[in-house]
Chain A
Amino acid sequence: MTLTVFELRRMLRNPLIWAAAVLAIALEGVRAAQWWPDLTVVTLRAVTASTLVAGAVLVAANLAAGRDRRFPETLAALPGRAPSRTRAVLLAAPVVGALAAAVVIVPLVLYGHLRGPAAGSLDVWEALNGVALAALAATVGAALARWTPWPFTPLLVIFAFLALIFVNGLGEYGGWALPWIPLHDPTLGPRPSALHLLYLLLLAVAIGAVALLRHGLRLVPAAVAAVATAIAVPAIAQADYLPKPPPVACRQLDGLSFCPRAGYEPWVGRWAAALRPITSAVPPEALADMPALRQDTFGGLPQVWLTGVTEMSVAGRVATGVAGLEGGPACGKAQTVVALWLTGLVSGLEESAPADWTRPPDPIEKGPGWHEYPLTDSGRSSVSPGRLPGVVYDGADLVNARALLADPGAAVKVRANWAVLTDPATTTEQAAPLLGIAPIGGAKACGEAE
């Protein structure tokens, strides 16, 4: 017990562990500040950030358990024996690892919660997975020190873990047997987080027992390893996403119908607020034909919301629909200029026209009438390189839309001439007198780089 307390004190003062914790909080904190707080995502990301701590704990536990190698002759002549040293590290390192992981996860989740209105739901079991993961990493570190003499083994194992976790983000290969699955597809239903927590804890116990077996085949550690493995493996083999939650009723706001997933109701007001520059600029009848904005569907609302980027993406979808654009080449059309102007009301029109109009692959079928184009890491739509999904426009359209954006009376003009402006047959040149702009034409064929 004295040795365990000693190891505990040393681990608690280990700068590697706390540097990893600070780094994890800083990196994820900065990133989280740009996203609307979604507790489901916040929890997953906090646990993912805490894998940094797990890596540090693995190394620290490995060094502590492998200390014998640097002091072998002196230790060999002492009454305190190697199994008791291993046991002390196996008890101390997981406790400190779990504590450090909690120090990362709790403030990040609280930060998400307090920034409100937070969507999603806080899954405490999910958060505890991060704590258990750090404890598991500690036992792996100790076991590696006992079974392998090479100092680089922990780094190889960390690399392998990272590869398993991040290359295989949705758990495609290995499923819930993986130590952590950082991504979540909400269409698959809630994650079996409680079962996965049990699995991680049992795995930690089994690996700890394996570390002790290095000191000789003893009945107790052998039995513990066998029993823990015998429960953990079949349990996790059956783990699957839980049944989907019931669909949530859609809500009308500002003339649009918002259909959030369960737990995302707090975001309806924010979605509406983000789109208000558009909904207040167009005549009410223009919104009547807009399909409901469903979360996670093609042309709808994303699962996550990156401030400043996602607004543009969603505004583009709504503006395209409101202006009646159907996709494909639309250069020189009045409705294209109007749609771009509408998106500019939300997020400005600073950028150039995209040069690459290569269309992405077909949307992924997620269910009956349910397609998905997930956002890229930067929050941009992967559907189209421009701001109007599926619509090809050029620099001239952008220049014309910017001219309209610069006119404070543009909204009145657009509302007054809505039917003409959104007629697919109306060109920008024809609409110019109505809009009060001096239009320019495109230099190249629609979709070609200028």
Chain B
Amino acid sequence: MEPTLTVHDLTRRFGRRTALEGVSLAFGRGVTGLLGPNGAGKTTLIRVLATTLAPDAGRVAAFGLDPADREQRLAIRRRLGYLPQSPGAYPHFTAFELVEYVAILKEIDDRRARHDEVRRVLAEVDLGDRAHTKVRRLSGGMRQRLALAQALLGDPDLLILDEPTVGLDPEQRMRFRALLSRLGASRTVLLSTHQTEDVTTLCERVVVMRTGGVVFEGTPGELAAQAAGQVWLTTTPPEGTFWRTPDGRYRTLGHRPPAAVPGEPGVEDGYLLLLGGEQVAA
């Protein structure tokens, strides 16, 4: 199947700092997780893909369209849902007004259809009963859901979400995952996150970035497999970084400590080992 979104040899610099260097990726239908520590270049990549930032070099194509061309960029935006890392909000708008404003800018011109659509996306994020509450009266989690609602407007073919689960309580996070897995069945969803749990439960594919480049691309299972033979459980605290498990044992990554038994590797283990000892220690 033709990928929805491709980037080839993408480079983006901010002054002397290189945020992206030679990144090449392709995204098709389904949910793809984008993992990486702070400063890895995730948000820069997300912004380039969302057409809000032009690359210094390299090519981007979404739906076969080139965002460097003004008309094609608009055509991409018509099929795009985007939740930025700092979505912002207008405190004096009601939830309904804010989403309606975005709906208008998404060119949903028919009033009745627009209102129906606003109500639909508010219900999707469980804010239907808060439609006429001023944004300033919403909690942080509710504002995050509101920002997510605007990204869902118009049933976009491509959904790009930067840290969407920040501020959500466990129930809302579960609800969000259910929504996203449903959406991912028929469209391309790109999810930037720090939560490896989101990746484990949601993503068919995961991309790990570090210092502006891609260091892993594969399934969550493949990422977990990176840690095979490097996850250990001990009964006494080992040297280095470790954490205590609920059964009273100590879990550590890397070299085998004395008297340790192998543990089951997870996505997080693979991710941490991929990023190296620095990140493990962190």
Measured CB to CB, the closest approach of chain B to A149, in angstroms, equals 15
Q: CB distance A71 to B87 under 8 Å?
A: yes
Docked complex: A59-80 residues within 8 A CB-CB of B = 67, 70-80
Docked complex: A112-127 residues within 8 A CB-CB of B = none
Give complex CA distance A3, B77 in Å: 18
Task: Please indicate the chain A residues that have their CB under 8 angstroms from the CB of B56 in the complex.
Answer: none
Q: CB distance B107 to A74 under 8 Å?
A: no
Q: CB distance B86 to A70 under 8 Å?
A: no
Task: Please indicate the chain B residues that have their CB under 8 angstroms from the CB of A75 in the complex.
Answer: 105
Select the residue from A71, A72, A85 with max chain B CB neighbours within 10 A: A71
Task: Please indicate the chain A residues that have their CB under 8 angstroms from the CB of B82 in the complex.
Answer: 73-74, 77
Task: Please indicate the chain B residues that have their CB under 8 angstroms from the CB of A77 in the complex.
Answer: 50-52, 77, 80, 82, 84
Q: CB distance A67 to B90 under 8 Å?
A: yes
Q: CB distance B147 to A74 under 8 Å?
A: yes
How does the 8 Å CB contact mask read for B103-139 relative to A, with 1 for contact and 0 for none? Answer: 0111101010010000000000000000000000000
A173 in contact (CB, < 8 A): no
Q: CB distance B77 to A79 under 8 Å?
A: yes
Known contacts A70-B90, A77-B50; decide if A3 and B105 are in contact (CB<8 Å): yes
A2 in contact (CB, < 8 A): yes
Q: CB distance B77 to A6 under 8 Å?
A: no
A10 in contact (CB, < 8 A): yes
Closest to B100 in A: A6
29 of the cross-chain contacts (CB-CB < 8 Å) are A2-B104, A3-B105, A10-B97, A70-B89, A70-B90, A71-B90, A73-B47, A73-B82, A73-B84, A73-B86, A73-B87, A74-B82, A74-B84, A74-B87, A74-B147, A76-B50, A77-B50, A77-B51, A77-B77, A77-B80, A77-B82, A78-B77, A78-B105, A79-B77, A79-B78, A79-B105, A80-B104, A80-B106, A80-B107
Give complex CA distance A78, B52 in Å: 9
Measured CB to CB, the closest approach of chain A to B87, in angstroms, equals 5
B11 in contact (CB, < 8 A): no
Measured CB to CB, the closest approach of chain B to A400, in angstroms, equals 66
- Counting chain B residues whose Cβ lies within 8 A of the other chain, the interface size class is 20 to 34
Give complex CA distance A81, B86 in Å: 20
Known contacts A73-B52, A74-B82; decide if A3 and B104 are in contact (CB<8 Å): yes
Task: Please indicate the chain A residues that have their CB under 8 angstroms from the CB of B109 in the complex.
Answer: 2
Q: Which of B105, B147, B150 contacts A80 (CB 8 A)?
A: B105
Q: Report which A residues bind B (CB closer than 8 A).
A: 2-3, 6, 10, 67, 70-81, 85
Known contacts A2-B104, A78-B105; decide if A72 and B50 are in contact (CB<8 Å): no
**17 other contacts beyond A73-B86, A74-B147, A78-B105, with CB at 8 A cut-off?**
A2-B109, A2-B114, A3-B104, A3-B105, A6-B100, A70-B90, A71-B87, A71-B89, A73-B84, A73-B85, A74-B150, A76-B51, A76-B52, A77-B50, A79-B78, A80-B106, A81-B74
Measured CB to CB, the closest approach of chain B to A3, in angstroms, equals 5
Task: Please indicate the chain B residues that have their CB under 8 angstroms from the CB of A78 in the complex.
Answer: 77, 102, 105-106
B101 in contact (CB, < 8 A): yes
B170 in contact (CB, < 8 A): no
Task: Please indicate the chain A residues that have their CB under 8 angstroms from the CB of B83 in the complex.
Answer: 74
How does the 8 Å CB contact mask read for B30-44 relative to A, with 1 for contact and 0 for none? Answer: 000000000000000
Q: Which of A74, A79, A81, A85 contacts B88 (CB 8 A)?
A: A74
Q: CB distance B106 to A71 under 8 Å?
A: no
Give complex CA distance A2, B113 in Å: 13
Q: Which of B78, B102, B114 contacts A74 (CB 8 A)?
A: B102
Give complex CA distance A248, B237 in Å: 109
Measured CB to CB, the closest approach of chain A to B277, in angstroms, equals 34
Q: Which of B77, B88, B97 contacts A72 (CB 8 A)?
A: B88
Give me the 3 closest cross-chain CB pairs, A-B, nearest first. A80-B105, A73-B84, A76-B52
Give complex CA distance A285, B82 in Å: 93
Q: CB distance B78 to A73 under 8 Å?
A: no
Task: Please indicate the chain A residues that have their CB under 8 angstroms from the CB of B50 in the complex.
Answer: 76-77
Docked complex: B48-98 residues within 8 A CB-CB of A = 50-52, 74, 77-78, 80, 82-90, 97
